[in-house]
Amino acid sequence: MASNGLIREISVAGPRPLGRVLIDDYEVEEFAALAARLPPDRYGYVVTPNVDHLIRYSRNERLQVLYDAAAFVLLDSRFLALCLALTRRQRLRVCRGSDLTLRLLQQVAGSHERIVLVGATAQQARQLAACFNLHNLRHVDAPMGFIRRPDQLERCLLDIEAAAPFRYCFLAVGSPQQEEVAYRLQRRGRARGLALCVGASVNFLTGVERRAPPRLQSWGLEWLYRLMQNPRRLAKRYLLRGPRIFWLLPQLQFMPRRRLAVGVGAGPPGSLATMARVPDTSGTSVPGRSPG
């Protein structure tokens, strides 16, 4: 793969139907328990699509490649889940990246498990280490625009690989930069551990940004709270691009799946992406039935 920057490599083919969207149908506690059992000698990465990601996914061939290669695709949108429940009576579990990041850090609190943080600031890394009593946290700097600079991107990848094997690598550099880094690590085949594309989660945990009150979160209105906090930065995303989801939604077919077994599959050595899955038969995604 040429390393001449993300923008040049992305191919935008214009609007097109999404068709099937595979979702690993887990809630936070379920997935945190599964993550703790994943084999440490293999690599895989987690993407957490929200409404904005799905809109960009529909137009961006490169982002489709990055999602298709992920070991896990976890739904990060209570708003979208509520829309599906109301319009289709389809129930999907929600596993928001911010909640998952918090739960995984709580899981390893006080341990010597290797944790890698890519992005954020050195001060935020120190905050996390102190808050969760992390004895083996490595911070990898990712300067603004690093993804378009081959030398900086290569340095980032090398630093992550040097920190492997890790239990968790939190990629907090925004989408699609974080998915691109995760994918390249998989293609290079040197890293071991679970990488998670977590966006602004570290900002929430360290107080740089405030999360919506729990009631607004449960109503699927966290996006509105964030918009009110930072309208200049988020107006285009939520008010101009966001409504496109209502045009795309009739073209989407969400296909839930559940993990069948850990560590099996016929994929590249060191990859979690091909671990066997089965369709979700728990009842959460069957029209007309409630979550089990």
b/e map 253-273, b = 16+ CB within 10 Å: ebebbbbeeeeebebeebbbb
Q: In terms of domains, do 219 and 144 share one?
A: no
Contacts of 181 (CB under 8 A, 6+ apart): 118, 147, 153, 156, 157, 160, 171, 173, 195
Residue 15 to residue 13: CA distance in whole angstroms: 7
Q: What letter represents residue 14's amino acid? A: G
pLDDT band of residue 250 (cuts 50, 70, 90) is: confident
- The percent of residues in the chain predicted with pLDDT above 70, rounded, is 82
Residue 175 to residue 47: CA distance in whole angstroms: 10
Domain boundary, last residue among 177, 209, 241: 209
Q: In terms of domains, do 116 and 191 share one?
A: yes
- Between these two residues, 270 and 171, which has the higher pLDDT value? 171
- Between these two residues, 264 and 60, which has the higher pLDDT value? 60
Q: In terms of domains, do 149 and 50 share one?
A: yes
Top mean pLDDT of 63-67, 150-154, 234-238, 244-248 is at: 150-154
Per-residue confidence (pLDDT) for residue 196, from 0 to 100: 98
Q: In terms of domains, do 218 and 202 share one?
A: no
Domain membership of residue 112 (yes or no) is yes
Per the omega criterion (within 30 degrees of 0), is the bond before 165 cis?
A: yes
With 80 as the cut, is the pLDDT of residue 17 above it? no
Question: What CATH number corresponds to the domain at position 42?
Answer: 3.40.50
Q: In terms of domains, do 152 and 226 share one?
A: no
- Between these two residues, 146 and 56, which has the higher pLDDT value? 146
CB 49 within 8 A of CB 60: no
| Collapsed DSSP state (helix, strand, coil) of residue 284 | coil
Per-residue confidence (pLDDT) for residue 16, from 0 to 100: 41
- Model confidence pLDDT, tens digit, residues 100-115: 999 999 999 999 999 9
Q: In terms of domains, do 93 and 172 share one?
A: yes
Q: In terms of domains, do 92 and 235 share one?
A: no
With 80 as the cut, is the pLDDT of residue 267 above it? no
With 80 as the cut, is the pLDDT of residue 284 above it? no
CB 31 within 8 A of CB 96: no
Per-residue confidence (pLDDT) for residue 251, from 0 to 100: 85
Q: Which range marks the domain in which residue 45 is found?
A: 28-73+80-209
Per-residue confidence (pLDDT) for residue 271, from 0 to 100: 63
pLDDT band of residue 233 (cuts 50, 70, 90) is: confident
- Model confidence pLDDT, tens digit, residues 235-249: 877 777 778 888 888
Nearest Cα to 26, choosing from 220, 257, 271, 254? 257
Residue 25 to residue 72: CA distance in whole angstroms: 9
Compute how many other C-beta atoms are within 10 angstroms of the C-beta atom of residue 209.
15
Query: Half-sphere exposure (CA, 13 Å, Cβ side) for 270?
Result: 13
Q: In terms of domains, do 195 and 115 share one?
A: yes
- List helix spans (H) across 109-176: 122-131, 150-163
Query: Half-sphere exposure (CA, 13 Å, Cβ side) for 242?
Result: 14
Mean pLDDT of 255-281: 56
Q: In terms of domains, do 189 and 229 share one?
A: no
Domain membership of residue 274 (yes or no) is no
- Model confidence pLDDT, tens digit, residues 187-218: 999 999 999 999 989 999 998 888 777 777 77
265: left (phi > 0), else alpha (psi -120 to 50), else beta?
left
Q: How many domains is the chain built from?
A: 2
- Between these two residues, 94 and 276, which has the higher pLDDT value? 94
Mean pLDDT of 152-156: 97
Residue 255 to residue 29: CA distance in whole angstroms: 21
